[in-house]
């Protein structure tokens, strides 16, 4: 995703103290969640009115995703989510967390939704505890997605169950039809630098 500068012809030269922040998400782990928080903090000081979050990811750790969602909820600036390439697993959930009307997807990109995986091995009681936690997270993230998409809370749970809990792949038009995204295109960022002279 690129930005374009438009400067007033009244300016001979200019230099931004901070360039616009575009947050790119390729992974969902502790380091990427920390980078996500840091870039959101930086974006508060650029003068931009929206924080673009560009997603191109196969997914990752659910707890890191939850940390990113907490960062979005705490942000005073609205967030636009943009999928380039793929938004799979955690990426699909993050995509739905853009501001209403500000969720974008390249026409050739792919979204994939599936159940949370635990991958737990060990003693019987440990496996049971892990399965209960996986079920809790599954219900939580599908509820978040449904609320963001204007669907009943159990919409995605039912859709996944209907598909035998197999991976659910969606193209851009399908995502738009069920409210995951609002636009089947990649937006452009325009940075306008002007001169304003006033008299008081």
Catalytic positions are 89, 114
- Displacement of CA 67 from its chain's centroid (Å): 12
Dihedral of alpha carbons 13, 18, 20, 25, sign: positive
Burial of 76 (0-12, 13-18, 19+ CB in 10 A): exposed
Bridge partner residues of 4 (DSSP):
190
- Strands 168-170 and 110-113: what pairing? antiparallel
Q: Is 173 left (phi over 0), alpha (psi -120 to 50) or beta?
A: alpha
Distance (Å, rounded) from C-alpha 84 to C-alpha 111?
10
Q: Is 179 left (phi over 0), alpha (psi -120 to 50) or beta?
A: left
Distance (Å, rounded) from C-alpha 116 to C-alpha 114?
7
């Amino acid at each position: 995703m690129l930005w374009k500068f438009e400067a007033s012809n009244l300016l001979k030269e200019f230099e931004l103290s901070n360039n616009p922040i575009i947050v790119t998400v390729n992974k969902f782990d502790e380091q990427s969640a920390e980078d996500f928080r840091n870039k959101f903090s930086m974006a508060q000081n650029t003068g931009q009115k929206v924080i673009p979050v560009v997603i191109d990811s196969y997914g990752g750790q659910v707890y890191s995703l939850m940390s990113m969602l907490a960062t979005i909820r705490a942000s005073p600036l609205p967030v636009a989510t943009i999928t380039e390439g793929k938004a799979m697993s955690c990426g699909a959930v993050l995509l739905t967390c853009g501001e209403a009307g500000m969720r974008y997807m390249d026409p050739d990109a792919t979204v994939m939704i599936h159940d949370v995986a635990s991958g737990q091995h060990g003693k019987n009681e440990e496996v049971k505890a892990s399965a209960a936690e996986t079920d809790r997270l599954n219900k939580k993230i599908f509820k978040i997605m449904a609320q963001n998409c204007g669907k009943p809370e159990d919409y995605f749970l039912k859709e996944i169950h209907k598909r035998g809990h197999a991976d659910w792949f969606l193209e851009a038009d399908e995502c738009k039809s069920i409210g995951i995204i609002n636009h089947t295109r990649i937006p452009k960022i325009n940075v306008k630098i002007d001169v304003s002279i006033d008299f008081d």
